[in-house]
Structure 1
Amino acid sequence: MATSTTRKVLMLHGYAQSAAIFSKKIGAVRKACGKDINFVFVDAPHILSPVDIAATFATTNTALDDLGAAEAATESDPALTPRAWWKTDAAKTQTIGLEDSLTYLRDILKGDHYDGVFGFSQGASMAALLAALLERPEVFPLFLVDGKAPHPPFQFCVAVAGFRPRSPLCDSIFLPSFSTPTLHVLGRTDVIVVEERSKTLLDVSSNKRVEWHDGGHFVPSKASWRNFFRSYLRDPLSAIPSPGPAAVSAPQSGTATPTTAETPDA
């Protein structure tokens, strides 16, 4: 795979974030990647109301800061309006609005070419759903354009703090598995997407690489991680050493565990 050509990556933000917030949060990663990677950030179509967010907090005991979206509560800039790819019912067995998000992303995909997709939290789940759906677009007919997929399958997917959503549509997209090469990045102290929850996505990802950081619910951005992301996005199928202090190769479908402590981006 050539590494000298600029690569375009579709970027999907987390719940209660926005494209602008996500772009700011991973500014160090973007800077490290330089001009080799063209990050295309898109806003989710569903705007969250204070009632939506309060309901989420009531059922998960979290706050905007825990979700990496503290700016959404302190700024009036429309670009920072909290958004979501879907909402859930009280039982968390429905992905309300997911169909609209998929058709919205269909229209983005059909207008350009992307080498891969990178998502955080709910956006990571959306990235994996999109990767899986491009493999079998017929399972959701509204995703088709003139009877065909709107875009070729992605060359790679990066899912940071991802999980498998629960709904009949998600089951039809994910089961029995999807095979797009996927990098799963998980935080050992993540209280939002805990290990048990993240495992639900790992179980349906048949061509995976798993990397852990010692932080919580955020995209790690220390120098080792910035360099790792840059190398991965340039050539995801190469033998890239783990971003941990004891750099060892971690092949596809393998697990490598970095031990350097992480702190969230300011």
Structure 2
Amino acid sequence: MASKKVLMLHGYAQNATIFSKRLGALRKACGKDIDFVFVDGPHVLTPADLAEAFRSTNESSSLDDLGAPEAATEADPALAPRGWWNVDAARTKTVGLEDSIMLIREYLLKDTYEGIFGFSQGAAMAALMAALLEKPEVFPPFLVDGKAPHPPFKFCIAAAGFRPKSPLCDSIFLPSYSTPTLHILGRTDVIVVEERSKTLVDVSSNKRVEWHDGGHFVPSKANWRNFLKAYLKDPTGDVPSPSTTSASQPASGTATPVTPSL
């Protein structure tokens, strides 16, 4: 039986290498059943980009604080901090989002993916791609011979996601999208707070919401690994909530910066 391919989108200031490393325990748990395809965001973040991110995020002051110390390693280009977009000075438009859409389009043209899984800014991007596959005509450059380049995803996993602010995103998301989406939210997340997460949850018409008691990361304890493994195997199945097997989730897993207006 062939492995299920899942597109994996990292958070802001991470990259494919770092995100893959952070999810090593989940990858090991899934074995050969799931083929995780980690994608690098097209935009290498400059010191000015990161300085603006830290300026806008009072709770965080460095990549190390945010769980992405590898991204500060200038000697290795493979560990350069990346993003799916930046924002304009007024924080009302996504700058470079179109490049990211077209990058993922190339992946979709070359292979078939069961679903998409993103964290933080990557979660926003994952949900955006799921919604765009449902109505690709709203962004004509995405089309191939007048049609979507790939069938709609069977599922989307959005950990610490949010709905970006831009006219293009509004045209893609509104009034809603219907791809089955698992939203994973942290009760003590101060980077993407509940109010911001709700902006994405609210446009997801076929949603499941699971909470963990930690902050801005993908939970990685055994109960969550088992839950995600089961969900990835059968997204439409009756998979028990991980919250029923553990009262709390200590901070572990993945953490990256996200500016409040991204």
TM-score, normalised relative to structure 2: 0.93
Partner residue in 2 for 1:262: 250
Match of 2:200 in 1: 201
32, 55, 58: which one aligns with 1:58: 55
Residues 1-266 of structure 1: pairs in structure 2 closer than 5 A: 5-61=2-58, 62=60, 63-74=62-73, 76-244=75-243, 246-247=244-245, 259-265=247-253
**CA–CA separation in structure 1 for the residues paired with 2:65 and 2:174:** 30
Note the residue ranges of structure 2 that are not aligned, 5 or more in a row: 255-262
SS of the residue aligned with 1:197?
helix
Say if 1:188 and 1:216, in contact at 8 Å, map to a contact too.
yes
Q: 4+ residue stretches of structure 1 with deviation over 3 A?
A: 65-68
Question: Would you say the 8 A contact 1:155–1:180 is kept in 2?
Answer: yes
Runs of at least 5 residues in structure 1 that lack an aligned partner in the other structure: 248-257
Cα drift, residue 216 of structure 1? 0.9
Contact 2:5–2:34 (Cα < 8 Å) also in 1? yes
Q: 1:130 to 1:262 in 2, by over 3 A?
A: same
- Residues 39-72 of structure 1 show CA distances to partners (whole Å, capped at 9, x for unaligned) of 0001000110111100111122233235432211
- Distance (Å, rounded) in 2 between the aligned partners of 1:189 and 1:30: 25
Contact 1:66 1:192 in 2 (8 A): no
Q: CA deviation at 1:212?
A: 0.4
What is the Cα deviation at residue 103 of structure 1? 0.9
Deviation by residue 1:67-121 (Cα, 9 ceiling, x = unmatched): 4322111452111100000001233211000011101111111110000000000
How far apart in 1 are the matches of 2:177 and 2:88? Answer: 26
C-alpha distance after superposition, 1:116-149 (max 9, x if no partner): 0000000000000000000000000011012110
RMSD: 1.4
Residue-by-residue CA offset, 1:176-197 (whole Å, 9 max, x unaligned): 0000000000111111101011
Q: Does the 8 A contact of 2:221 with 2:252 survive in 1? A: no
Count matched residues.
252
Q: In 2 relative to 1, CA 14–153 (structure 1 residues): closer, same or farther, beyond 3 Å?
A: same
